[in-house]
Copies of this chain bind each other. A is one copy, B any other.
Amino acid sequence: MDKYSQINESISRYVSFSKEELDILNSLLEYREVPKKTIMLHEGEMCNFEAFVIKGCIRKYYIDAGGQEVILQFAIENSWVSDISFSIYENRPSHTFIETLEDCELLIFTPESKEELFKKAPRFERAFRILLYRNLAVTQDRLFNTIAKTAVDKYLEFLDHYPTLPQRVAQHYIASYLGISAEFLSKVRAKIAKH
Q: Which residues of A contact B (CB under 8 A)?
A: 14, 62, 64, 66, 68, 70, 72, 84-86, 88-89, 118, 122, 125-126, 128-130, 132-137, 139-144, 146-148, 179
Contacts and interface: CB of A to CB of B under 8 A. Distances in A.
Q: How many copies does the complex hold?
A: 2
A130 B89 contact: yes
Interface SS majority for chain A = helix
A164 to B, nearest CB: 23
Given A148-B64, A148-B70, A89 B133 contact: yes
B129 A84 contact: no
Contacts of A142: 143
Contacts of A140: 72, 84-85, 139
Contacts of A66: 148
Contacts of A132: 129, 132-133, 136
A132 B85 CA distance: 11
Nearest to A87: B137
A33 to B, nearest CB: 28
A137 B86 contact: yes
Contact of A136 (B84, B118, B125): B84
A86 to B, nearest CB: 5
Nearest to A62: B144
Contact of A72 (B68, B84, B143, B179): B143
B84 A146 contact: no
Contacts of A84: 133, 136-137, 140
18 contacts: A14-B89, A64-B144, A66-B148, A70-B143, A70-B147, A70-B148, A72-B144, A84-B140, A85-B137, A89-B134, A122-B125, A135-B136, A136-B139, A139-B143, A143-B146, A146-B146, A146-B179, A148-B179
